[in-house]
Structure 1
Amino acid sequence: MRHLQHLIDGRAFASTDPETRPVVDPATEEVVAHIPVGSAEDVDAAVRSAVRAQPGWAALDLAERLLLLARVADAVEKEAADLARLENLEMGKPVPLAEQFIAGGVAGWRQSLERARRYSFVTDVTVPGEPGRTIVDRRPLGVVGLIIPWNFTVTSILSSLAPLLASGNTVVLKPSEKSPLSAARFAELLDLPPGVVNLVHGDARAGRPLASHDDVALLHFTGSVEAGRSVGVAAAARLKRSVLELGGNDPVIVDADVDVAATAAAVAFSSFVNSGQICTSSERVYVHRAVADEFVAALVAAAGDYPLNADRNGSGLGPLVDGAQRDLVHAHVRDAVALGATVRCGGELPEGPGFGYPATVLTGLTPEMRVMREETFGPLAPVVVVDSFDEAVELANGTGFGLAATVYTRDPGHQRRAADVRAGIVWINAWQQTGAEATYEPWGLSGVGADGADAAFDAATRPVTVHLTDAG
């Protein structure tokens, strides 16, 4: 039984609040660790440490910072198997899947360091013929509060942290109270000057004071809409910057001209992988009537490739993160059935310990059903039959969310029309296939603030213009 502590100023730090909360293995429902609930005093100590460390960190030559950060990638890569095991223990992700995503996070970290070498931290923007010389200097913001979600702890840290640190900021990291084990291990691997990255455990009793701390210049948050609103309001009240990636109810459009079997397999993967606990999971599937019957049959067959799997090293579905999340998923299914939907497979609570839920395909959906209006975050594939591509686009835009969307079509005109789906990212014919230069900003309830490529460095820095006029 582990009792985790904060990591502040390079050392373990006991909370000022003795209250703790359990960390539960969702496969067995057994308590595997305890963490402090956190307090404003804990957060203040972490922020003060980051404030002290920031000038020295920013003063390092960029090449020296990047060398230290490159060693982080090496350390995480070496310990990837242990980190994957901890992610499995805290939120149920199968170990091979966790290893795959951690490897992707390490690759992304290294790409960010390469981008930092090319990024224009200082740019001469002098226009010929104008008097004097104008320089734009992009300087670090200072201290960043980084609040990450429970579904991809290590990968989320890697993708967000690299641009922040490379730009000269220091960071106070707060992992989700549901998945702190892998974050704690990650923090132990950091061989950086004390205070450059501080880790504070806890629930909202740590998150709220971090979001409202006067010395935090940027709030970088990934999580639910409700919590994101609170973070955004706290940042706005202090005129601080925030980058918020929130929930999604991401649509898929399946056109009449697709390879039905291949598309059904792809939609099954994007709906069921990680038990549907991905912000960009496919949650609403709009299928052209011409291929609907064949597609549904193929999707139900493909769901059979995602069995509930008690083997932590297996390739099936792990459990949902906790009982509350499973209850929400099942409530969405029950609501849909009560309003006339049909369960084609799955949809039943399994016996035994753990929070597993089967891969589920629903048909006969209507817009008022919760599963069509809210984020489910579970292994559900609700299918709606449409009569045209235009109808599918209209229905896809029928919620307030707009994180990502996927469109399967061979029609060049429909491929152009795919950009009309309101989302930060629109994938055509391949889910989650995005180039290194991609930049996106969520739409509507799904968040605010651009990210990716140079935008991640823009968000981590503040442009200062220096104009030099020659002395007379």
Structure 2
Amino acid sequence: MMQTSLFINGGWLEDTADKLTITNPATGDVIATVASASEKETQLAVDAAFNALNDWSKRPAKERSVLLKKLYHKMLEEQDEMAHLMTKEMGKPLEEAKGEVAYAASFVEWFAEEGRRVYGRSIPGGAEDQRFQVIKQPVGVVAAITPWNFPAAMITRKLAPALAAGCTIVIKPPSATPLTALMLAKQCQEVGIPNGVVNIVPASSKAFSNVIMKSDKVRKITFTGSTEVGKMLMKQAADTMKNLSLELGGHAPLLVFDDADVTRAVDQAVASKFRNAGQTCICANRIYVQAGVYDEFVDQFVKKVATLSLGNGLEGNDIGPLIDKDGFEKVVDQVNDAKEKGAVVSTGGEGYQDGGYYYMPTVLTNVDESMAIMHDETFGPVAPIRKFEEEDEAIRLANETPFGLAAYFFTKDVSRGTRVAEQLEYGIVGWNSGAPSAAEAPFGGMKESGIGREGGMEGIEAYLETKYISLKL
């Protein structure tokens, strides 16, 4: 069994009063104990980041870029080891975990390059002796709170742009999956990122937030998680007017129109819905299929889903366990609610406990808007399918939610596709694609799905302040 420590100011601190017990969700076996930061240790991490800020922010962008490139290569060199660790602590299939490591590393590579393209500008003055200049500077110390479902990528999407911009960072990984984060800390240390620039402190939410929200040293909060917690953080951040980036909950619709390539739509819908056992913020949560291809789509979709294997992610299965009992029970409750209200289970529909909590890949048909699954994020391997008649109806149904993170649609008609893409109230839209995420592109939502963007050129802007300088000669 592993024993791991906090990573603060380039050192490893194990002697804490509280410990986290980390279990393998596939088996229930304890795989590690991890030091848990109190307010005292969290404050040490904030102080370390603050003390490192002056030196790090003044280093040339090229120097920061070189170190991030080294981290990128280090992650790829240790891809198999990191993926294996991730599967053990989180449960996702090993091949998915390998893919996540590559995806996480892509953000490090992208922002290593983007950090060298932080541009200001000169503006013509209003008089002969006036000069106007705009410069970009790092926002300061960043506190990052990340979720368990992507233990590597949700960190590098924050860490990489922060470091590239010249910020230092304190990261609270989730209590369920801190091991991948601590391995990332070790990699940062090994490639020469200076002490205090990156600090990783597994901690209770209360201990962490009590320190960072009150601290005037922390100038930015970046959070990925539930809308409920995001709203709470937004209120708490108001007292010190902290800069905020919030990537919150979703309830993604997937629309299939009569003129779609049905086979492609099925393949992409399965990939979107069942990746990570449906435990992703942008997976297709509800599927709407136009009447003309409804039967064909359902037939192909059910057959494909029925072939997905369920079991331990280290044993070559397509679907791994759910993260814990609470996640499992939410899926069970949603399926039972749908069945009680008339939904038909076309495949799956059952779960079991075998060391971990498993739920069969499931397809529900004959669903309607009275069912909880059509309104509440499922975070499980269940796909409800509803028929629609007209384009306007599909767009209305897709937008009838407070969330606006991701949406998908399938059509060969460019005119229709343009109309639909522009009318969907979502920050990310996949057109004939179920996997839109990329380091080069902005990731984030509208409405109650968050504030700000990660990735793309927008991703580094979230870690910069704009300063205007007016010079009179």
* TM class, shorter-length: over 0.9
- Tell whether the 8 Å contact from 2:107 to 2:455 is kept in structure 1 after alignment: no
Q: In structure 1, give the amino acid aligned to 2:403.
A: F
Which residue is equivalent to 2:185?
A: 187
The residue correspondences of 1:285-300 to structure 2 (distance < 5 A) are 285-300=287-302
- Equivalence for 1:79: 78
Give 1:15 deviation, angstroms: 5.6
Q: Deviations over 1:113-137 (max 9, x none)?
A: 11222231x3223358765211111
Distance 1:95 1:435 in 2: 20
**Is the Cα contact below 8 Å between 1:347 and 1:358 reproduced in 2?**
yes
**Residue type of the partner of 1:192?**
I
Of the candidates 455, 460, 472, which is equivalent to residue 463 of structure 2?
Answer: 460
Q: Is the 8 A contact 1:396 1:421 kept in 2?
A: yes
2:328 to 320, 326, 329: 326
| Aligned positions, number | 468
Amino acid at match of 1:8: I
Q: CA offset at residue 437 of structure 1?
A: 5.2
Match of 1:424 among 422, 427, 438: 427
Secondary structure of 2:354 counterpart: coil
Q: Relative to structure 2, which stretch is displaced further, 425-434 or 86-95?
A: 425-434
Q: Deviations over 1:300-327 (max 9, x none)?
A: 0110232103351514111111121111
Q: Take 1:311 and 1:123, find their aligned partners in 2: how far apart are those partners?
A: 50
2:222 to 216, 220, 223: 220
CA deviations on 1:66-95 (whole Å, 9 max, x unpaired) are 112211112111111111011101110111
State whether residues 211 and 231 of structure 1, in contact with CA within 8 Å, keep that contact through their aligned partners in structure 2. Answer: no
Q: Is the 8 A contact 1:220 1:242 kept in 2?
A: yes
Q: Which residue in the other structure is 1:115 paired with?
A: 114
- Preserved CA contact (<8 Å) 1:150 1:176: yes
Aligned residue identity for 2:456: A
SS at match of 1:32: strand
Q: How does 1:106-145 map to 2 (within 5 A)?
A: 106-120=105-119, 122-126=120-124, 131-145=129-143
**Shift, 1:56, TM fit:** 0.5
Percent identity reads 34
Q: Bigger CA drift: 435-444 or 141-150?
A: 435-444
- Give TM-score scaled by structure 2 length: 0.95
Partner of 2:164: 166
CA shift in 2, pair 1:87/1:434, >3 Å: closer
Distance 2:326 2:444 in 1: 29
Question: Aligned in 2, Cα 1:426/1:130: closer, same or farther, shift over 3 Å?
Answer: farther
Aligned with residue 150 of structure 1, among 141, 148, 151? 148
Is the 1:145–1:210 Cα contact (8 Å) retained in structure 2? no
Matched ranges for 1:350-429 at <5 A: 350=352, 352-418=354-420, 419-429=422-432
The aligned residue for residue 248 of structure 2 is 246
Which 10-residue stretch deviates more, 315-324 or 33-42?
33-42
Instruction: Tell me the distance in 1 between the aligned counterparts of 2:437 and 2:324.
Output: 31
Partners of 2:80 and 2:128 in 1: how far apart? 58
Q: 1:331 to 1:398 in 2, by over 3 A?
A: same
Distance 2:50 2:302 in 1: 54
TM-superposed deviation, 1:436 = 6.1
Bigger shift: 202-211 or 289-298?
202-211
Asked whether the equivalents of residues 43 and 209 of structure 1 are also in contact (C-alpha less than 8 Å), the reply is: no
Counterpart in the other structure of 2:203: 202
**Matches of 1:435 and 1:311 in 2, distance apart?**
24
In the TM superposition, 1:16-55 aligns within 5 A as 16=16, 18-55=17-54
- Residue type of the partner of 2:77? K
Return closer, same or farther for 1:119/1:251 CA change in 2, 3 Å cut-off: same
Distance 1:205 1:436 in 2: 31
Asked whether the 8 Å contact 1:210–1:216 carries over to 2, the reply is no
Give the match's secondary structure for 1:350.
strand
Distance 2:433 2:370 in 1: 29
Seen in structure 2, the aligned counterparts of structure 1 residues 116 and 281 have a Cα distance that, compared at 3 Å, is same
- Three-state SS of the structure 1 residue aligned to 2:116 is helix
Given the superposition, is the C-alpha separation of residues 9 and 456 from structure 1 closer, same or farther in structure 2, using an over 3 Å criterion?
same
Which AA in structure 2 matches 1:194? Answer: N
Is this contact kept in 2: 1:174–1:199, CA < 8 A?
Answer: yes
Give the C-alpha shift of residue 145 in structure 1.
0.3
Structure 2 gap segments, 5+ residues each? none
TM-score (structure 1 length as normaliser)? 0.95
How far the C-alpha of 1:169 sits from its partner, in A, is 0.4
Judging changes above 3 Å, is the alpha-carbon distance between structure 1 residues 137 and 351 closer, same or farther for their aligned structure 2 residues? Answer: closer
Q: How far, CA to CA, are the matches of 2:378 and 2:257 in structure 1? A: 24
* CA gap 1:415/1:445 in 2 versus in 1, 3 angstroms: same
The within-5 A match list for 1:64-103 is 64-103=63-102
8 Å contact from structure 2 (residues 92, 321) kept in 1: yes
- Alignment RMSD: 1.7
Moved over 4 A (4+): 127-131, 434-437
* Partners of 2:171 and 2:125 in 1: CA distance: 41
